[in-house]
Structure 1
């Protein structure tokens, strides 16, 4: 296994842990590696129930990933209104939505050719 692959797998694991720690909902990973013209290898998509919950998820991901593998997001966008926060870790991009915004933009549908893994989450 290459170092990049190991780092990416660990980043995904820690991001998921960060989401689960604050009860983020409907977690899904899209594997984009086999698609042409993609800007990243993986999307992690989840949603929260409010602005506060979305912010808590983002904070938890940052803290968990930073503590476990000393990785910081290259760029974070959308924190101002917390309806859709994008966290760019280069090979992995995390999308944290409020449910209605996630349904509206339907990233999973747009990237329908990607392999998908869903995690069962409960409130």
Structure 2
């Protein structure tokens, strides 16, 4: 098992860069759908001002995550946005009857994005990132 751990550990920095890129890409797609309307997603048809703000954050900071520029601060802000999205958009969708369980309120992705971004805020962008190139 020790040899297997060593073999996988050498790929950890590259996996971090890939994880950062994919997380950014997924958040970017939400921003594109909310702000640019592509693809047309029925739940984003009526866009209240809060969704426009969230979409703008996801669009800009998702793009920054993809290239790995200002990774830590971008991920930290996105983590907070996803926490807010869970509580405002999922848990308290109906303020008279809050539903805490993510399986029932549709907030699973928001929780995953929150903690994925929190991890990226602490781990950084990895070796394949603009942040890393700027250090050199």
**Which has a greater percent of helix?**
2
Q: Same fold (TM over 0.5)?
A: no
TM-score normalised to the size of structure 2? 0.28
TM-score under structure 1 length normalisation: 0.31
